[in-house]
Structure 1
Amino acid sequence: MQLTALIAMAGDPHTAIYLNGSAAAAAGFQQFPLVLRWLDDGVFVTGAAAPYTRALGAQLVAVGGMPIDQVVGQLATLIPHVNDQWVQYMAQHYLLGQQILQGLHVVPVAATTPLTFRTLAGEVFTLDVSPGSNSSLSSLPDPAAGIYPDYLQNTSQNYWYTYSAANRLLYFKYNSCGDMPGNPFANFANQVLAILDANPVDTFVFDLRGNTGGNSAIWNPLINGLTARIPTLLSNPGLRVYGVIDKGTFSSGSLDAMLLKQPIPSSVAAAFPGIDLSKLVQVLGEPTGGATQGYGNVTGFTLPSSGLVGQYSTEFITGPSYVPTGPAFQPDIAIGLRSTDFFARHDPVMAAILARTDAAPPPPSGSAIAVNGASFRADEGLAPGSFASVFGSYSQVPDQVLVAGIPGQIVAATASQVNFLVPARAPLGPAAVSVRANGSELASGQATLTSSGPGIFVLRPDPSQPGAVENQDASVNTSSSPAAAGSIVQVYATGNGPVDASGNAPVSVFFGDLPAGVLASVPLTQYPGLWQINVRVPAGITGEVPLFVVAQNLASNAVTLSVR
C-alpha cells in the first residue's frame, strides 16, 4: 500500500497499482459483500448479501466511527487523480476493501469492520461486516421488479443500442472502448446506422457513463458513418444529439465523449443556415473522472511478489482544440443523480433529454436555500404560485418569507425549514429570498423563478419515492394497491406553467420513457399551489414504474407507481 500511495503522489490517473479486482483478491485484499454507488447526496448501498440487506438503500456515513469524508480523504492518498470525480468513482470500490481500510489505520485489524448507515427517514445504525462473496447479492432497485433505466442494463456488453419509436429516439450505450467477441464494433456500427437510415430519428443519445476507456479508435466506424450522413441528418430540423457523461467516464471514454463536440465543417453548415448548430449537440450529466488531456497509452505490469497488477503511462495525449483544457470535461448541462432518483428507477438525464431541456437555471445559493416544495431539487427553478421549501439554520422559527420583496404564504415552519407558496405575482428571473421573523432578517438567498417548475409530491421518505398518486377507484397507489394498466390515475404535483384557454396546464407524462395520454392537467384553485394531472397508464408495463412529468421543457422528479 505504501508503494501504491507513492505512485499516487504523481497525480497521473493512468499510472497506478490497483487494490481491487481479481489480482488484489488473490493477494489477500478481501471485499465486503456489498455494492456501493457514489450519488449526488452521498455513498449509498445498492447491493448487499443476506446478513446485511438492512443496509440496502441506506447511506454509508462512517467507517469504524470515522466520518465518511475523512475516510475518503485517506483513500484519496491511494488513488492517483486530477479531480475529485475520479476519487469518488474509485472510492466506491475501495471503501469495500477491509485490508485497505486497515492498512490506512481507519479501522483496526479484526475479523469484522463496523460500518454505519443512515436511512432516508433519518434512522442511523451500525453493522459489523465481514468480507465475503458477492455472488448472491440482493439489489435495490431490483431489476426484475419493474422498469429498469437503460443506463443500468446490459452492463456486461461493451456496447448496445435500442430504438424507441414512440420517442423517435436512438439510444447507444457505450460501456467500454473495446471490441466484443462475436460482434466486432464495425459490424455493430452497421447495425446502428441501418436503424438510423430506416427509421425516423429526432434524438440520438450517446451514453458514455461508466466508460473507463480502452481504444478510442474502436468506435470510428460509427463516427465515420455519421460524418458521411451529416447532410442527411441536418435535413431534419428537429434533430438533437446528446452525449452523456459522469465520474466514471475516463481515458478513451472521455476522449470519445469530447469528440461529440467537434464542430461541423463550415462548408456543410453553410448549407443549413436555418439550423442553430450550437444546440445540435449537447453533453449532459456530470464532469468526467479524467482531464481533457494528460498522460496515457498505458503499459500494464504485475508485481512479482504480491501479484498485484498496475499500469503506467507512455505518452502525453493532447486534448482536442475545441474543448477547453481543464481537470475534467464539463457537461453543457450539469445533471446529477440523487439517491431518490436511483432508487426510484429514474434517470434524470434521460428525463431532460425527453424534455429537450436547453439549460438548467443556476442553483439556489446563500444561507436560505429555496427549492421546489415537492421534489426538493436544486436544479430547477421555482414557479410563481407553486409550493416551495426554504432550508437554513434559523435562530428562531420564521414568520415571513419574501421572494423578490413580495411575501409568500407560509404553510409550515420550523427553525430549519419553511414551506410556503411562492407569490403568484413574483417576476420571472433571479430573485432575492429573505427569511424573516418579527420584522428582522434571519437568512437570505438567491433563487431563480421560471414560468414552470414541475415537482411531484412524495408520500413518505422511502428510497423508492412512492408518489402522491390515486388509482382510478380513488385508493392511494401502493404496492399492495397497484393501478391496472390502461386505467386512469391522478397525480398530485406543483409548479405548473401557464394554463391554456380551456384551463389546462400543458404537460407531458412519462412512465419510464413511455409517453402517456393526459386527460386533464388542472391547477386546483380551491387548493392554491396544488396541480392535478389525470393520465392513463400505458399498456404493457407492470411492477414498479418511475413516473415523471414535463412542463415547458423542464422535467420533474420521478415517483414510483405500482402497476399490475
Structure 2
Amino acid sequence: MKRLILLCIGMFWLMLGVKAQPATHVDWQRDLDSLACWLPRLHYNFFTVRSRADFEKGIENWKHQGNNGLSDLQMALKLQQWIATFGDLHTNLNFVPLLDRNRLLPLGLKWMDDGLYIVTAPVGKEDMLGCRLMELNGTPIEVVADSLGTLFSADNEAVRKSMVPNYLCFVQLLEHFGFVSDGKVMFKLASADGRMQLHELTPGSVNPQNLVSFRPEGVALCYRNARTLFSVHYEAADSLLYIQYNKCWSRELEEEYGNREQASRLPSFAALEDSVFATLRHRPVSRLVWDVRFNGGGNSIPGTRLAEKLADFMHQQDVPPRVYVVLGAATFSSAILNALDFKRLLGACWVGEETSGKPNHLGEVRSFTLPTSGLQVQYSTKYFKNVDEEMNTLVPDVKIPMTFDDFRQGIDPVYEWIKKQ
C-alpha cells in the first residue's frame, strides 16, 4: 500500500527533499545577460512559437524593470512564466531550490478523470481522504489550476493533470498568484456521498510520520509495481502478457552513463526481454500489453529495439498476439516515441487517456547554470518529428478514463477492457 500512495503523491516527495536556496543577493541583470546569451545558442530552436525578437524584447524589458522590489522567488517565477510562453515544456528555469520546504501543505493529490482528489492528509484530518477538492480559499480549484498552469508550457489538458497536483502543495506558489495572503488555506471538499466539508490547513514542514493515506478497497495491477522501472506479469487465465514500463531507463543505461554503483540497484532491461520472449515461446499469449501510462520518459532506444524484436517474432507466428499500448496523462517524451514504435511496428491499439507528451516534440534535455542565482535552466537539444500532422497529444484509439471510484475499488478499467477483447 505504501508504494501505491507514494505514486499518488508523485513529485511531492521529491520536492520535499529539495533544500531552500540560501538567502544571497542575486544580480538578476547578470543572470538575464547569461540567459539571453546561452538559451538561444544552446537550444535546438527556442523560437518555434514566439520569435527571437519577442525574446530579445522581453529580456530588455526584464533588465529595465529589474526585480522591481520582487523577492528572488517571485522574480524566478515570473521569468519561468515568461519562458513557458515560448512553448517548450522541456525548457524551464528551475525555481524549486528557492522554495521553502518548511512552508508546505501536508497533502498528497491525485487528478482523476472526474476531479482532483486528496489521497494523503495530516493525522487528525482523516476525513479529508478520498474527498474531491472543490475550492481553495473560496476560489474554484479549476481557477487555481489555470494559474498554476502558467508555470509550464501546457500543450494539452493532460499536462495540467500531471503537474498541477505537484505544485499545489507549495504555499509560496499560491501566494504568488494571490490565492493565499495570511499563510492559512481553507479547502472546500466534496465527500463520496456529496456532503461538503471545510478544512483549514497551516503550512509547515512535513513529517511523513504525521500523515495518513487513503486506503482503497483493492489495488489494481497497474499500481502494484508502479514504483519499479518495469515489470512483467503473465495472466494465464486470460492468456495475457502484461509489461508495465514506468520509466525509459535500466541497469544497462545507467552503466552506459558510467554510474556502476547506481546501476547495480536497477533492474536489467535484458532480463525483461528474456522474460517476455520466454513467455511468448512457451506459454499461450493472445494479448500483449505495453503499459506506459506512468512513463515520463528517459531513453527511448531500449523500447524501440524491443518493439523491433517483437515485430520480427510476430511475423513468424501464424496467429500472433494482439498488441495494446496503455496511455495516460503522465505519458511523455521517450514514452511517446515508444508508443509510436509499437503502433508502427506492431499495429498496436492505443487504449486509455490522452497523453501530456506530443508525437512531434523537442527533447534530449541538458542544462546550464545562471551565474549569481545558481538556478539551472533546462533546454532541449533535439527535435523529434514522428508524424506529418502536428498534434498536441496522442489520442487513444479507445478512450477509457479512470475515475476515483475505479481507484477506490481497485479497478483498472483499461485492463478489464483488454481482457474482454
Report the TM-score, using the length of structure 2 for normalisation.
0.73
Q: Distance in 1 between matches of 2:92 and 2:414?
A: 31
Amino acid at match of 1:293: N
User: Which residue pairs with 1:478 in the alignment?
Assistant: none
C-alpha distance 53-301 of structure 1, shift in aligned 2 (>3 A): farther
- Deviation of 1:281 after TM superposition, in Å, equals 2.3
Matches within 5 A, 1:130-279: 130-133=203-206, 135-136=208-209, 137-142=211-216, 147-180=218-251, 181-182=263-264, 183-233=267-317, 235-236=318-319, 239-263=321-345
**1:216: Cα distance to partner?**
0.8
Q: Which of 216-225 and 35-44 deviates more?
A: 216-225
In 2, the alpha carbon distance for the partners of 1:255 and 1:195 equals 25
Does 2:180 correspond to 1:107? yes
Higher strand share: 1
Q: Is the 8 A contact 2:294 2:328 kept in 1?
A: yes
Quick check: 1:29–1:97 contact (8 Å CA) kept in 2?
A: no
Amino acid aligned to 1:12: D
Between structures 1 and 2, the one with greater helix share: 2
SS class of match (2:393): coil
- Aligned residue for 2:226, secondary structure, equals coil
Give the AA of the match of 1:166. Answer: A
SS in 1 for 2:208: coil
Equivalent residue letter for 2:80: T
Matches within 5 A, 1:141-540: 141-142=215-216, 147-180=218-251, 181-182=263-264, 183-233=267-317, 235-236=318-319, 239-263=321-345, 281-302=348-369, 308-320=375-387, 324-356=389-421
Which amino acid letter does the alignment assign opposite residue 215 of structure 2? P
One-letter amino acid matched to 2:179: V
Whole-Å Cα distance in 2 between the matches of residues 263 and 172 of structure 1? 17
Closer, same or farther: CA 121–305 of 1 in aligned 2, 3 Å: farther
Q: Secondary structure at the match of 2:225?
A: coil
Matching residue within 133, 136, 143 for 1:70: 143
Q: Residue 132 of structure 1: CA displacement?
A: 3.6
- The residue that corresponds to 1:123 in the other structure is 195
In structure 2, distance between residues paired with 1:51 and 1:339: 23
2:106 matches 1:33: yes
Which letter does structure 2 place at the counterpart of 1:54? D
Q: CA deviation at 1:315?
A: 2.3
Partner of 1:10: 86
Stretch moving more, 27-36 or 331-340: 27-36
Equivalent residues in 2 for 1:58-97, closer than 5 Å: 58-97=131-170
Closer/same/farther in 2, CA of residues 28 and 49 from structure 1, 3 Å limit: closer
Read off the aligned partner of 2:229 and give its amino acid letter: N
Structure 2 counterpart SS, 1:260: helix
1:24-68 Cα distance to aligned partner (Å, 9 max, x none):
65x558432221111111101122231332211100111111111
Sequence identity of aligned pairs in percent? 31
Q: 1:224 to 1:337 in 2, by over 3 A?
A: same
**Kindly tell me: are residues 335 and 119 of structure 1, through their superposed partners in 2, closer, same or farther at Cα, counting changes over 3 Å?**
same
Contact 2:134 / 2:141 at 8 angstroms: preserved in 1?
yes
Q: Quick one: distance in 2 between partners of 1:108 and 1:15?
A: 30
1:187 maps to amino acid: A
Indicate the structure (1 or 2) with the bigger Cα radius of gyration.
1
Change (3 A) 1:297 1:50: same
* Cα gap change, 1:55 to 1:306, in 2 (>3 Å): farther
Which residue pairs with 1:45 in the alignment? 118
Q: Secondary structure at the match of 1:195?
A: helix
The alpha-carbon deviation at position 292 of structure 1 amounts to: 1.4
Whole-Å separation in 1 of the counterparts to 2:98 and 2:335: 24
Deviation at 1:325, TM superposition (A): 3.1
Aligned-residue Cα RMSD (Å) equals 2.2
Segments of 5+ residues of structure 1 without an aligned counterpart are 265-279, 357-564
- Asked if the contact 1:285/1:336 (under 8 Å) is kept, the reply is yes
Please give the alpha-carbon distance, in whole angstroms, between the structure 2 residues aligned to 1:194 and 1:114: 55
Q: Per chain length, whose mean CA-contact separation is higher, i.e. which structure has more relative contact order (CA < 8 Å, sep 6+)?
A: 2
* Preserved contact between residue 41 and residue 338 of structure 1 (Cα < 8 Å): yes
Counterparts in 2 of 1:109 and 1:244: CA distance versus 1, 3 Å: same
Aligned to 1:57: 130
Task: Report the alpha carbon displacement of residue 190 of structure 1 after superposing the two structures with TM.
Answer: 1.7
Distance in 1 separating the partners of 2:150 and 2:102: 17
Q: Distance in 1 between matches of 2:207 and 2:342?
A: 37
1: CA distance, partners of 2:200 / 2:92: 31
Report how far residue 263 of structure 1 moved: 4.8
Contact 1:29 1:100 in 2 (8 A): no
Q: Is the Cα contact below 8 Å between 1:19 and 1:94 reproduced in 2? A: no
User: What is the TM-score when the length of structure 1 is the normalising length?
Assistant: 0.55
Q: Report the CA distance between 1:141 and its aligned residue.
A: 2.9
Report the residue type matching 1:241 in the other structure: V
Write the letter of the residue equivalent to 1:151.
C
2:238 aligns to what SS in structure 1?
coil
Relative to structure 1, the CA distance from residue 124 to residue 319 in structure 2 (aligned partners, 3 Å threshold; closer, same or farther) is same
Divergent runs of 4+, >6 A: none
Q: Distance in 1 between matches of 2:419 and 2:274?
A: 26
SS of equivalent residue, structure 1 residue 218? helix
- Give the corresponding residue for 1:373: none
Structure 2: 5+ residue stretches without partners: 1-76, 252-262
SS in 2 for 1:89: helix
